[in-house]
Amino acid sequence: MRIVPIGLALMCLAGCGKPAEPTNQTAQPNESVVEAAFENDQDALASGIENEAADDDANAAAADADRYKCEDGTVVLALYDDDGGVQITVGGKTVTLPGVTAASGSKYRSEGGLAPDKSLTWWTKGDGALLIQAPRGTAEGSPKESVVNCTQQD
């Protein structure tokens, strides 16, 4: 009978040890698994690298661009080039406009605008600008034009 109490005592002592602490480590993928995933989808990897480079270029251009806020809430980034043209970015879409003759201020126009069927004109004077969109082939001053006043931000 003495064997049973001694056995119980040993079992109790065995359970008195310090419990194992939980680990917060997450399993890291095996390098060969990662390499295999990229080998199976090289186009996605190349596309990711190209998109990252394009984002870097866009961010650099945006830092050099003049920022305009329009009365309808539109934000326009204008990057003027040395050739007399401008790159306009609106809503993530960039359009290059060549300079055209203006009676006053600086004017840029292209038949290819922010939408495929619209022309785009960017006309600046001082810290003000007009963002003008119209159906392709529409004469200047037509009631079909959409004209938005914009102001350059500091």
> Region 121-129: what's the mean pLDDT?
96
CA dist 21 → 11, 13, 25, 74 (Å)? 21, 19, 12, 55
pLDDT digits (tens, 9 = 90+) for 43-84: 544 444 444 444 444 454 567 899 999 999 999 999 999 999
Counting residues of the chain whose pLDDT is more than 70, the rounded percentage is 60
Rounded Cα distance, 135 and 113, in Å: 9
Q: Which of 124, 128, 116 is nearest to 80 (CA)?
A: 124
Per 3-state DSSP, the chain is made up of helix, strand and coil in percentages (nearest 5) of 30, 35, 40
